[in-house]
């Protein structure tokens, strides 16, 4: 079985309008036997999207249409491919109760889900970690050092693993090294190896999975998987399932990074 567990859709406001059917047909052509549509879940009530374009996630009023659209195609293609209806849910520090409330409403309607960190809390404000190189530069300037940004990201990631988000909390951690998206412009030589190993231990203890994300390989300032090879190998040593995710925001990205994965992943 070949699974692609992280795919976006035309419901993504910062993606493309490529049709759901086109993703499915291409996935079958590429040899996938199972796919998960994991659209960006609506941001929690009371949280203001800090990106300049405010297009990080679909709107709450769209979610029922999204679920219905995926479920309709799930049935239509059931003899050809397994299709999961899922969401990529943001862990946002300080909005745990709101996120749990959302999951309590919609979690039972999902087949799959990913928990990701895109937003970092800094004092009373939030920043989107992966919006653009210029925006990342502003974050580094605000924090005073690249080291401080990395520390806050991995601290928040650890919190996401430990957080109580209720019975429908996603059990797969999304692109755990997303902080490295612009690493070729902002090289960080002091990689926190022990911190990453501790995060893997926390993932293992919870019985969670990792999104083995190929999108970074296509980013000119990253050029590696999330997580990178050595972390993926350490995850396998611990028996942590690695679930390939293309993180495709358009059909042509459906197998991005697949050829860069280590042997033996789930």
What is the percent of the chain with per-residue pLDDT over 90, rounded to a whole number?
97
**Mean pLDDT, the chain, whole residue set:** 97
| pLDDT score for 191 | 84
pTM: 0.97
- CA–CA separation, 8 vs 22, rounded Å? 12
| pLDDT score for 227 | 98
Give Cβ neighbours of residue 194 (< 8 Å, ≥ 6 apart).
Answer: none
Q: Average pLDDT of 240-254? A: 98
Query: pLDDT tens digit string along 131-163?
Result: 999 999 999 999 999 999 999 999 999 999 999
DSSP secondary structure of 38-82: EEEPPPPTTPPP-STT--SS--GGGHHHHHHHHHHHHHHTTTT-E
| pLDDT score for 182 | 99
Query: pLDDT tens digit string along 170-210?
Result: 999 999 999 999 999 999 988 889 999 999 999 999 999 99
| pLDDT score for 38 | 99
Query: pLDDT tens digit string along 20-53?
Result: 999 999 999 999 999 999 999 999 999 999 999 9
Compute CA 74 distance to the chain's CA centroid, rounded to the nearest angstrom: 22
| pLDDT score for 266 | 52
26 torsion bin: left (phi>0), alpha (psi -120 to 50), beta (else): alpha
Q: Catalogue all structural domains in the chain, each as residue range(s) with its CATH number.
A: 3-260 (3.20.20.140)
3-state secondary structure of 142: helix
pLDDT bucket at 265, cuts 50 / 70 / 90:
low
Helix/strand/coil (H, E, C) string of 116-140? ECCEEEECCEEEECCCCHHHHHHHH
Of 1 and 183, the structure prediction assigns the larger pLDDT to 183
Query: pLDDT tens digit string along 87-108?
Result: 999 999 999 999 999 999 999 9
């Amino acid at each position: 079985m070949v699974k692609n567990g992280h795919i976006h859709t035309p419901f993504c406001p910062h993606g493309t309008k490529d049709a759901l059917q086109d993703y499915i047909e291409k996935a079958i052509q590429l040899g996938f036997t199972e796919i998960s549509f994991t659209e960006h879940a609506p941001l929690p009530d009371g949280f203001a999207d800090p990106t300049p374009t405010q297009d990080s996630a679909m709107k709450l009023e769209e979610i029922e249409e999204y679920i219905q659209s995926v479920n309709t195609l799930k049935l239509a293609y059931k003899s050809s491919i397994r299709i999961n209806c899922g969401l990529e849910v943001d862990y946002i520090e300080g909005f745990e109760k709101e996120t749990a409330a959302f999951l309590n409403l919609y979690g039972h309607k999902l087949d799959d889900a990913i928990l990701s960190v895109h937003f970092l809390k800094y004092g009373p404000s939030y920043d989107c970690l992966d919006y653009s190189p210029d925006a990342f530069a502003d974050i580094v300037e605000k924090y005073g050092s690249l080291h401080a940004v990395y520390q806050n990201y991995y601290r928040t990631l650890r919190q996401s693993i430990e957080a109580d988000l209720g019975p429908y909390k996603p059990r797969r951690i999304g692109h755990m090294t997303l902080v490295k998206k612009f690493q070729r412009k902002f090289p960080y030589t002091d990689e926190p190896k022990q911190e990453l190993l501790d995060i893997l231990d926390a993932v293992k203890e919870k019985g969670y999975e990792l999104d083995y994300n190929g999108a970074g390989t296509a980013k000119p300032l990253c050029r590696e998987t999330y997580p990178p090879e050595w972390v993926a190998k350490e995850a396998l040593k611990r028996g942590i399932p690695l679930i390939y995710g293309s993180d495709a925001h358009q059909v042509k990205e459906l197998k991005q990074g697949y050829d860069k994965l280590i042997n033996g992943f789930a």
